[in-house]
Amino acid sequence: MILAYIIILLILIICILAIALYRTRTNLLKSDEFQTSLYNNIPGVLYRCSYNKDWTMEFISDEIEHLSGYLPKDFINDKVRTFASIIHPDDKTRVERIILESIKNKKTYSLRYRIIDKENNVKHVLEKGRGNFDRKGDLQSLDGAIFDVTKQKETEQKLFFANAEAKKALKIKSEFLANMSHEIRTPMNGIIGMTKLVQDTKLDDQQKDYIDSISDCGESLLSIINDILDFSKIEAGKLDIAESAIEVTSFFKNILSIFEHMAKEKNLSIEVNIDSKVPEIIVSDPVRLRQIIVNLIGNALKFTNQGEVIIEVNVSNDDLLEIKVKDTGIGIAKNIQSKLFNEFTQADSTITKKYGGTGLGLSICKKLTSLMGGKISVHSDLGKGSTFTFTITKKVGNKAKLSNDKEVSGDFTFQLGKNYPLKILIVEDSAINRKLLSAILLKLGYQSEFAFDGKEAIEALVYKKYDLLFMDMQMPRMGGIEATQIINKEYAEGRPIIVALTANVFQEDIDRCLDAGMDDFISKPISIKVLKTILRKYGMKINSKNEKYVK
């Protein structure tokens, strides 16, 4: 009887074990099916390979067939081919080196390389993997995933070539603008310079009115040229911000003095209000800051026929320097305001005909404020006036950083030549420019001599010692760059100061001058203020042996 119970119990145990085994096998099969389904639905090839000299493939997902055209079973245990056999020959060494380095450092690796599929097509792949180490730290296998990035690579190449073409087009445009700048600014140099000379002579009221009109037109044309060139430089990323200390009150007072005559003619009130929170001295780019403010005030006066223009200088809530230019002018329609800061956009075609302009001024202001760490905006109601607000980074300066170089009052001073005597040679092929610069120098107390090109300048130095050469860049037979290089070579010691005269105002043109060994440059049209600064600067160097000169 007991034996029967034991037999029944054994049968029950065997049945329970059979059921458990069945369920375990069923669960394992389901798990395998789940893993296989998961592996095969991941958008990439999953793999595991052994750690041996051939990196024998233990597992590879079905996605390999879509990627390479070869069946997964062909790679298992290297049955038909190894995975290394489809890697592009030029990439094999690099792939192996990166993987071995990552294994050595026990780090995940990520690399891109090429494979050659069954149809002999080259495909780009991204592989990420890591060594699988046991508790002792011994490498057991390599696990990873491979993704097809061919389309991404093609897109990157298209973008690369498109970017290269865009840069090429931008370079062509910049070169064109540089050449146009030279061709336009050269005659403008004569027009504006000669006008300045005539304005300094005795004129009756009618003559003075005519000459002032010519001067205004010349300055207006030069402003348009400068707008186009500035826009091109900003667009090409070649405009730099040069910071220095600015005394805020005198800075705005000087700007307002430019517009007093225009405001008086239109019977408009113009004033500046500076908040007590604004530092007395700030650090910014005075040229670019002035350019923004002058543009906004000029627009405000242009479009205001009665009332006032007020400039407010404050510190904003986010601790930026905030400047507002308010007017009581014609205002701007709401649907136009969003377009104001776009390139070549003006408020209205009829207004354009009446008031003129390039449509670049506000676009340049926007780009400049951005370069100076701020932004610009407008609030306006049609017929009720406009308020342009811009901000720049607020940097507090001190008086020690202010320039001690005070400009001599008036455009011309004969005393300059007496204080800083110089023997000057003008190297210039344009007769009008030679005549102009010679006349200006004479007004400043300097006699000068001429050379018509670089060759004549080199010959002149054989017979006479000069202190300063004003060297044009583009001349027949020999230009300024080549002439400067020869002079530097032949007169290593005691050579004259060489200052470039250039109508090309792009930074690369200025860099070419300095790289060739020139000491400084003056852009055309020639600014009398800049010319006087140059004459004092190098006059002090040459005439004062005790003064340490720092270039």
Three state DSSP letters for 320-374:
EEEEEEEECCCCCCHHHHCCCCCCCCCCCHHHHHHHCCCCCHHHHHHHHHHHCCC
- Is 159 within a domain? no
Q: Which residues contact 358 (CB under 8 A, 6 or more apart)?
A: 224, 227, 228, 344
* Long-range contacts of 132-139, Cβ-Cβ distance < 8 Å, separation of 24 or more: 132/48, 133/106, 139/51, 139/103
- Residues 450, 351: one domain? no
- Residues 267, 317: one domain? yes
Domain finish residue from 197, 215, 235: 235
- Residues 375, 260: one domain? yes
Asked whether residue 377 carries a pLDDT value surpassing 80, the answer given is yes
Q: Which residues pair with 472 in a beta bridge?
A: 501
- Residues 81, 227: one domain? no
- Is 155 within a domain? no
Domain finish residue from 354, 378, 401: 401
Q: Which residues pair with 392 in a beta bridge?
A: 321
pLDDT of residue 89: 92
- Is 164 within a domain? no
Q: What is the tens place of the pLDDT at every residue in 139-149?
A: 888 888 899 98
Asked whether residue 37 carries a pLDDT value surpassing 60, the answer given is no
CATH code for position 443: 3.40.50.2300
CATH code for position 364: 3.30.565.10
- Residues 458, 474: one domain? yes
Q: Shortest CA distance to 518 belongs to which of 509, 526, 506, 531?
A: 509
Least confident of 39-43, 199-203, 359-363, 400-404: 400-404
- Residues 231, 262: one domain? no
pLDDT band at 22 (very low <50, low <70, confident <90, very high): low
- Residues 213, 284: one domain? no
- Is 163 within a domain? no
The total of structural domains in the chain comes to: 5
- Is 439 within a domain? yes
Least confident of 18-27, 240-249, 499-508: 18-27
- Mean pLDDT estimate for the chain: 80
Share of the chain above pLDDT 70, in %: 77
- Residues 260, 384: one domain? yes
Q: What is the tens place of the pLDDT at every residue in 290-329?
A: 888 988 998 899 899 999 999 999 998 888 999 999 999 9
- Residues 372, 480: one domain? no
- Residues 249, 277: one domain? yes
pLDDT band at 231 (very low <50, low <70, confident <90, very high): low
Burial class of residue 482 (count of CB atoms within 10 Å of its CB; 0-12, 13-18, 19+): middle
Q: What is the largest CA-CA distance in the chain?
A: 149
- Is 523 within a domain? yes
Asked whether residue 341 carries a pLDDT value surpassing 50, the answer given is yes
- Residues 221, 73: one domain? no
- Residues 31, 90: one domain? no
- Is 58 within a domain? yes
CA distances from 221 to 79, 185, 287, 528, 550 (A): 80, 10, 19, 18, 37
**For residues 424 and 466, what is the distance between their CA atoms, to the nearest angstrom?**
6
End-to-end CA distance of the chain: 120
How many other CB atoms are found less than 10 A from the CB of residue 505?
20
pLDDT band at 182 (very low <50, low <70, confident <90, very high): low
pLDDT of residue 295: 86
Q: Shortest CA distance to 391 belongs to which of 324, 464, 306, 342?
A: 324
pLDDT of residue 40: 55
CATH code for position 53: 3.30.450.20
pLDDT of residue 308: 93
pLDDT of residue 169: 77
Range of the domain at 21: 1-39
**For residues 117 and 120, what is the distance between their CA atoms, to the nearest angstrom?**
5
pLDDT band at 451 (very low <50, low <70, confident <90, very high): very high
**For residues 396 and 283, what is the distance between their CA atoms, to the nearest angstrom?**
6
Domain finish residue from 401, 435, 464: 401
Asked whether residue 6 carries a pLDDT value surpassing 80, the answer given is no
- Is 169 within a domain? no
Contact 517, 485 (CB under 8 A): yes
Q: What is the tens place of the pLDDT at every residue in 161-176?
A: 888 887 777 677 666 7
Share of the chain above pLDDT 90, in %: 19
pTM for the structure as a whole: 0.49
Least confident of 205-214, 243-252, 542-551: 542-551
